Amino acid sequence: MYSLKGKVAIVTGGARDIGRQVSLKLAAAGAKVCVNYLGNKEQADETLRLINEAGGEAILVQADMTKGSEVKKVVDNCVAAYGETIHILVNVAGGLMGRKVLADLDEEFWDAVMNVNLKSVYLVTRAVVPHMTDGGAIVNFSSQAARDGGGFGALAYAAAKGGVLTLTRGLAKELGPKDIRVNCVSPGMINTTFHNTFTKPEVRTNVAAATPLRREGEAGEVGDLVLYLASDASSFINGESVEINGGTWFA
């Protein structure tokens, strides 16, 4: 539907679930994709296999997006493989890391959640923007939790994702004059490992039942939205948070 032929993309956290679907969708549209992953090489190899089998082109780069030196490694590898220009950045890397209420929320845990969800976006964006040309697109990942405070024990996560919303808007103003658009997507309940790990089945059932569409979302649906925001089809959308939650929360 959207052509990204001749474009180069970096996807952080691009090896599984939503990140995998984003990588697959961008590659299928013609982009050369630099897929970052943290630790699970088996998942990363499977993502690369799926891209290659579909006729796409990609490389894998293992790195921790909370560390500037490792972020540089991703950018350097991407530039070495596909040239100096990076057209698209999708900051998927992030996670809940655990559910802790305020009384149990120690400083170390707070910092870890902020680093993986918010600091990573800042670090990667800062490193990639010098390689972006006019017409570049950045897509960040916030969450419905940024809007409604999140579920039980998600205080730090919700706060970090709220920071991503604000960072997105600030970057949209700063980079817009360079013709670089910055937007974010804010998923609700999506069928992923995230909720398999951190959300009780009965909670998921109840949330799905209360959603106007009466189901959870799928990672591929989020990937389709990211593809749109990364493409020229969304050329006048900037600084926006697009909610994808089946109607459980309205902006």
In a domain, 159, yes or no: yes
Please work out, in degrees rounded to the nearest 5, the angle formed at the alpha carbon of residue 219 by the alpha carbons of 214 and 221: 70
In a domain, 198, yes or no: no
Where residue 128 sits, what CATH number does that domain have? 3.40.50.720
**Domain tally, the chain:** 1
Known catalytic residue at 157: yes
Strands 88-91 and 8-12: parallel
Q: Give pLDDT tens digits for 10-63.
A: 999 999 999 999 999 999 999 999 999 999 999 999 999 999 999 999 999 999
Helix (H, G, I), strand (E, B) or coil at 94: coil
CA distances from 112 to 69, 103, 156 (A): 17, 17, 9
Q: List, in order, residues 6 or more apart from 160 with CB less than 8 Å away.
A: 94, 113, 114, 116, 117, 118
The whole-angstrom separation of Cα 6 and Cα 141 is 24
Give me the mean pLDDT over the 206-212 stretch.
Answer: 86
In a domain, 197, yes or no: no
The whole model's pTM is what?
0.94
In a domain, 53, yes or no: yes
In a domain, 178, yes or no: yes
User: What's residue 198's pLDDT?
Assistant: 64
In a domain, 204, yes or no: no
Q: Give pLDDT tens digits for 83-137.
A: 999 999 999 999 998 999 999 999 999 999 999 999 999 999 999 999 998 899 9
Query: Between these two residues, 192 and 21, which has the higher pLDDT value?
Result: 21
In a domain, 229, yes or no: yes
Show the domain range for 153.
Answer: 8-189+219-244
In a domain, 251, yes or no: no
Percent of the chain at pLDDT > 70 equals 98
Q: Out of 2, 37, 82, 157, which one is annotated catalytic?
A: 157
Secondary structure percentages of the chain, helix, strand, coil, to 5: 50, 15, 35
